[in-house]
Structure 1
Amino acid sequence: MNPSSNQIKILAGVFSLVTAGLLAVLKLWVGVSQGSLALLASALDSGLDFLTSSVNLYALHQAARPADSEHRYGYGKAEAIAGLFQSLLVAVSGGWILFHAARHFLKPKAEIPEISSLYVMLVSLVLTTFLVLYQRSVIRKTGSLLVSADHLHYVSDLLGNLLVLLSVALAMQTGWDWVDPLAGAVVSLYLLKGAWEIFKKSTDILMDRDLSHEYRDSILRVVKGRSPQVLGYHDLRTRSAGERRFLEFHLEMPKNLTLEESHKILDSILDELKEEFPYTEVLIHPDPVEVNRNGRTLLDREAPRFY
């Protein structure tokens, strides 16, 4: 049995939490035993990663809960709320890196880490690389906003460690002290761009941004394929909550159709749309239309608002 989308996302959250926990313990242990303030500071950073991953895992569990009497549309927006938090965290990290990159660019100085720190950094690189690659595969399968945000966060850690090793190597071989701040600035801009994209996607979900353009062609095909029993549509509205999407529209049908005939047509349309969009809940409201030689008249009391 293949795991569900929610199970895949939660497993990614667990993997992220375990990775952050292992790195925090490793850095703390080596930092205390070696008396390295740099490693202790890095352990604190990994501890914050562990805390963030814990929040993300909780949000993923919440988002996976089914709809109930108090939350009729489910808990999918929990992902967007946590994604918003993550985007702000990544933006702060990017800004901090950019600030220090600018300062070091004015006064270049290559800091050579201790040997113990380099070993821990290599272990961190390996674990974080596996995590980032796994998260990328989860994102491709589920399109999860929160996993995407967490992925961006760990990419920043990965690039940061790589830059330290690269700048140290170049400084030792060539004396190019300016490589470190320049690379740091590039990474910070990448993080700020990614943080903005996550922030925008999160706010779009929370503010119920319309997704009608993704469905309009399919609805037009359905309408044309069932003429003359279906004459048109209006008031198309969509929104999303996590991976769940909600689609509703009014279907224009001849007023002389019986209730049974209308119901059969609606059922066939629902089946077709659900097959094409498996994570979308569809609600269709039939509107009677009077058809005569002068054209057709929509008998609904309210004029259409959207098409």
Structure 2
Amino acid sequence: MESNKSVWVKISFVVSFLLLIVKFYSFYITKSTAILTDALESIVNVVAASFATYSIYLSSRPKDDNHPYGHGKIEFFSAGVEGTLIMLAGLFIIYQAVYNFFFPNELEHLLEGIVLVAFSGLVNGVLGVVLKKKGKELNSLTLEANGKHLLADTMSSFLLILGVIVILLTGLDFLDSVIAILFSFYIIYSGYGLVRRSVGGLMDEADPVAVDATVKAINDNRKQNWIDIHNLRVQQYGGDRHIDLHLTLPYYLDLGQVHDEVEELESVLEADWPGVMEVFVHADPCIPDMCCHYCQITECPVRKHQMDTKIEWTASNMSKNQKHYHELI
């Protein structure tokens, strides 16, 4: 899996580097600040792809004594670096646009520049769609972030083309700086989104998608002996997922039976995830006076109360650090 990630991120680097040359040539022949915004974002693409290559390599390394949870978090850092670079590029574009507003360049060969930018945007769009798809398939935030960035770059390129066409038709050269500033705000916003997601991952912010997927896998394979699951925590680092939870089982099971139930739950979760999965299950004994009310075991030898409530397992109640009988109080 990691070799596939590496291949795609290298392809991204080569394509980004070639398009960087095309876009700067377009700026060279047109002297358009708006087109410069596209060229500067391509520098970000190249730097981001370079860092992503190292990120993919490092995240693929197995866990060791110094990194007991593996190296997957580097992908969050990679996305954060890319977002920061995008924001810096946006700020520089604003500076350049304001400068050119007061000291304008004479725009030239706009039609040729439009063709070159359109070609670059089309290539970026195709590559962006592929990288985003591969990022989801390979559980790589780095590839997915790179794909989203290229798609945003494509959208900005084609909107930029519309703006340059307006300049070409109207002859109002000052619009070049106005368009550049408008696009710089979009670029900064795009970079902020990546940085926000990166910080959330580095701070172990709850990932609703990962939690919901885990809850669904458990519900789809729910067993009678699994009376209660609570204190569920899900962390995802790149292609690695770590799950901690408490499992309430009948108190009369012997140690071997408890072990089998825990292993079955672990197998259910591991089968639902294509990447590396690490599950830690803490087994709790049931409390008959409390748990009998929602215990689904049909032939329980020690039942004290009839089952009168079926508690649906959701991300909300499974994440709480308490048995579900608290919901009945």
Alignment of 1:196 onto 2:192: yes
1:243 equivalent in alignment to 2:239:
yes
Name the Cα RMSD after superposition.
4.0
- 8 Å contact 2:217–2:268 — kept in the other structure? no
Instruction: Give CA-to-partner distance per residue, 1:232-280, whole Å, 9 cap, x none.
Output: 2332222121122111111122332111211221222222222234444
After TM superposition, the structure 1 stretch with the greater mean CA deviation from structure 2, 206-215 or 233-242, is 206-215
What is aligned with 1:259? 255
Residue in 1 aligned with 2:282? 285
Is the aligned partner of 1:306 residue 2:321? yes
Match status 1:86 vs 2:82:
yes
The equivalent residue for 2:226 is: 230
Q: Distance in 2 between matches of 1:261 and 1:210?
A: 32
Query: Bigger shift: 160-169 or 280-289?
Result: 160-169
| Residues 39-58 of structure 1 mapped to structure 2, 5 A cutoff | 49-58=45-54
> C-alpha separation between the residues in 2 aligned to 1:182 and 1:233?
57
Matches within 5 A, 1:160-239: 161-162=157-158, 165-177=161-173, 180-181=176-177, 183-211=179-207, 213-214=211-212, 215-216=214-215, 218-219=217-218, 225-227=222-224, 229-239=225-235
Higher alpha-carbon deviation: 15-24 or 83-92: 15-24
Q: How far, CA to CA, are the matches of 2:39 and 2:183 in structure 1?
A: 22
Structure 1 residue 204: deviation in Å?
1.6
| CA distance in 2 between partners of 1:15 and 1:267 (Å) | 41
Measure the CA separation in 2 of the matches of 1:151 and 1:7.
Answer: 18
Match of 1:301 in 2: none
TM-score, structure 2 as length reference: 0.69
User: 2:67 corresponds to which letter in structure 1?
Assistant: H
Q: What amino acid sits opposite 1:195 in the alignment?
A: G
Structure 2: runs of 5+ lacking an equivalent: 293-318, 323-329
Q: How far apart in 1 are the matches of 2:56 and 2:235? A: 19
Which residue matches 2:8? Answer: 12
Identity percentage of aligned residues: 23
Question: For 1:64, which of 60, 64, 71 is the aligned residue?
Answer: 60
Which whole-Å CA distance do the structure 1 matches of 2:29 and 2:78 have between them?
36
CA distance in 2, matches of 1:23, 1:243: 29
2:327 paired residue number: none
* Structure 1 residue runs without a partner (length 5+): 298-303
Which aligned pairs between 1:132-171 and structure 2 lie closer than 5 A? Answer: 132-155=128-151, 157-158=153-154, 161-162=157-158, 165-171=161-167
In structure 2, distance between residues paired with 1:194 and 1:7: 28
Shift in Å, 1:58 = 0.8
Matched position secondary structure for 1:287: strand
In 1, Cα distance between the equivalents of 2:249 and 2:156? 60
**Helix, strand or coil for the counterpart of 1:210?**
coil
Q: Deviations over 1:186-237 (max 9, x none)?
A: 4334333322221122112111123474234554665xx433x333233222
Aligned residue-pair number: 288
Match of 2:124 in 1: 128
TM-score relative to the length of structure 1: 0.74
Contact 2:22 2:120 in 1 (8 A): no
- The separation in 1 between residues aligned to 2:109 and 2:281, in whole angstroms, is 64
**Letter matched to residue 256 of structure 2:** E
Deviations 1:28-51 (A, max 9, x none): 8x79xx99998xx89887566434
Q: CA deviation at 1:118?
A: 6.2
Distance in 2 (alpha carbons) for counterparts of 1:182 and 1:43: 17
Q: Aligned in 2, Cα 1:113/1:306: closer, same or farther, shift over 3 Å?
A: farther
3-state SS of paired residue (1:282): strand
- The amino acid that maps onto 1:96 is F
